[in-house]
Structure 1
Amino acid sequence: MTAPADPSRWADLGPRATSAAVMIAVGTGCVVAGGVWFQMVTVFVTAIMIWELWTMIEPQGPTRGMLLAAMVASVLSGQLALQETWGLSLFLLASLAGALTLRRERMTFFFFALAVQLAGWGLVTFRTDYGFFWILWLIGVVVITDIAGYFAGRLIGGPKFWPRVSPKKTWSGTVAGWVGAAGVGLLFDQFAQVGPEIVPLSIALSMASQWGDIAESALKRRMGVKDSSALIPGHGGLFDRFDAMLGASLFMLLVSALAGVPVVSS
């Protein structure tokens, strides 16, 4: 006889759905508007993620963490507005300044802070250089990967993907994310006609987003915390929600630099 389903596994669905709806509404508006609106929300999210990174490493020093987040926001505001590649050196300075003021995990902070800033810059650059449809595709792949993984992991379950790092992530959820991403790629090709290569690219982007999630999970286990913060009901912190976007943005920065991105047909 089959054991009754455990209702507790869906306990976070309500808060997650409500918070996700708000974030999607705000995010969609800024993505559509582009320009300074998309830049502003990206700077805000990036600065909060830097603060959350700081407080995970040094919980007793949130004031300095907030000052660091403000400094990063200022650096990003100038850099994202100028879109000058030389200004990326400012990201090194912001990451180094934060690392030197910490008492431990200095290299951890440096590399994660640098990755977060580069990812934020990458998103704004990608939106500016390639337009609305491509950034919509990127966000769509990340969101569907997360949604498909969430439901498949709870409905199907099965072997864990990497239990030592991410105890909740299953192989069923991981593969479901790839399938969902392929579907987004096929749908995108129907409207934008970018060619069949969009499907494997979507799957690769899905994998990159999952590795962003895994990297943050490893960070939280190393720091001994459950969530990056408690800012978002049902989700934890912004780092917990945008870790996948971090991996996806860095991946597309690499792809656009090495191979370029095809032009979307009008």
Structure 2
Amino acid sequence: MKLDSTVSAVVTGGASGLGAATARALAAKGVKVAIFDLQEEKGKAIAEELGGVFCECNVTDDASVDAAFAKARAAIGQERILVNCAGTGNAIKTASRSKEDGSIRHFPLDAFNWIIQINLVGTFRCIAKSAAGMMTLDPMADGERGAIVNTASVAAEDGQIGQAAYSASKGGVVGMTLPVARDLASENIRVNTILPGIFDTPLLGAAPQNVRDALAASVLNPKRLGNPDEYATLALCMIENGYFNGEDVRLDGGIRMAPR
């Protein structure tokens, strides 16, 4: 897909981290960008910086997602690109024993479901609604109607202690990539997924330096945290390369996560 001012994109979770880097990379190519996020102040600032539009969006809510797509399409036109970066995590053992009194508790199911609803169902909700919009477009000169990039995690394959919900949600994103690509193949809409490793995003921004250093040291090569711009580079490659389809690609410096 050729990226220029005739193309529009939606980036969920675009107000910070991987999403913000991708939004900037797309805008640098001339693409008109809509930022979907719950962080209004940051989202509006990035949208203004890029000459795009901010759309407040809760990916777990149908009405919120519908309203965000309607606002984006009214402002910049029907998107041909969707990049799903909205997501979150938690760390709770499936069942655990208190060190203080020996009491036993299990993973609260509402906390498990919350992660699934944001990371997995929220991603699919945006895919389905965006793909339906892309199908209204005429194919471009290269025959394409659209391209979708999702964000999973290396935890989909190397989930650590306490990551049952997070790993399940990201494993679901990986698992649905190929069937969704097959669903949309006849409409010339491609779908790919990135599995990032440990990236220097706001999620890690508050971590003590010794923790950040230990995480960087665990990467095979190079021994550092990933840069969000490196994620953006791969996302744009997946969008621009018309033969990239139905793939799940780790971007992790060769790391294989230990149990903890």
Q: So what's the TM-score if we normalise by structure 1?
A: 0.27
More helix by share: 1
